[in-house]
Amino acid sequence: MVHDALESDKRIQIIYIGKNSRIDPRIKVIVSLAARKGVEISYVPAEKIRAISGSDSTQNIVAYMQKFKANSLREILDLKIAEKKDPLILLFNHIDYEQNLGAIIRSAWGAEVDAIILSTTGVHEVTPIVAKISQGGAAYIPVIGQSLFQAIATLKDYGIPVVGVEVGMGKAYDDITLLGPVAFLFGGEVSGISKPLEKNCDAFIHIPITNKLASLNVSVATALVIYEKQSQERAAAKFVKSE
């Protein structure tokens, strides 16, 4: 993950490396790359690495990352417009667990999501645990904690539809066109999308579930929806090329 972040030209402030890992060939590659990027390296006891990361499985290395240069939703949307690309934004009513956010970021990275907007009532920052679970995605995907109502107002200013993903509402996610600019709004892991937020959605979709399961894990639901959109985009591109 640290290697990926260094290669991405993103925002590493300092890298901590366990003193007993100096001779590890993989660590030497990272140190060399960090030197070329001008990133500070600090060799510390393994105990400090574990304390910083909150994990016993860090491969004796952890990096502190700076904030994204584009640190607001409006800046990100302006950039996408300048690039003449359709924005793909994810909004989350409430996330309880850092592991889920890490998994969401990992999936979002693969699906070229432009930003993740999180309500500040739950997990809303890239912690060491989130970064580790994201497996490099945290170096690429902006994560912004802010009021979802403010975020939705901004999206509407740019004419981007907000599609709520909620059990039993709207059409099945794979039975509706998801092409073009869109923001998907996912509910809390326990309570779903709040009623006030529902009123701000332009449409709804759901993931069909059998066997009386109440709902899917939010990271799983996110992956299904964004990769369905990606699949539709690929199919549409192939259709245009075949004409």
pTM for the model: 0.76
Distance CA 155, CA 167 (A): 23
- The torsion angle over the Cα atoms of residues 209, 216, 122 and 227, rounded to 10 degrees, is -90
Phi–psi pair at 147, nearest 5 degrees: -60, 130
pLDDT reported for residue 155: 98
Q: Name the β-bridge partners of 185.
A: 91, 164
pLDDT reported for residue 51: 75
> Residues 68, 125, 145, 101: is their CA dihedral positive or negative?
positive
The residue whose two tokens read 């996330």 is 95
pLDDT reported for residue 173: 96
- Beta 162-165 vs 203-206: how paired, if at all? parallel
Q: Which domains does the chain have, with CATH numbers?
A: 2-65 (3.30.1330.30), 73-242 (3.40.1280.10)
115 is written with which tokens? 């930003």
The residue whose two tokens read 């899917």 is 216
Low-confidence ranges of the chain (pLDDT < 50): 68-69
The residue whose two tokens read 């409430």 is 94
Distance CA 74, CA 172 (A): 30
Tell me the C-alpha to C-alpha distance, in Å, between residue 58 and each of 26, 85, 195. 13, 36, 41
pLDDT reported for residue 44: 86
Q: For residue 117, give every residue at least 6 positions away whose Cβ sits within 8 Å of its Cβ, in sequence order, or none.
A: 73, 89, 90, 91, 92, 144, 145, 146, 148, 151
pLDDT reported for residue 108: 96
Radius of gyration of the chain (CA): 20
Nearest to 152 by CA among 79, 108, 91, 78: 91
Phi-psi region of 114 (alpha: psi -120 to 50; beta: other; left: phi over 0): alpha
Distance CA 106, CA 242 (A): 32
pLDDT reported for residue 161: 97
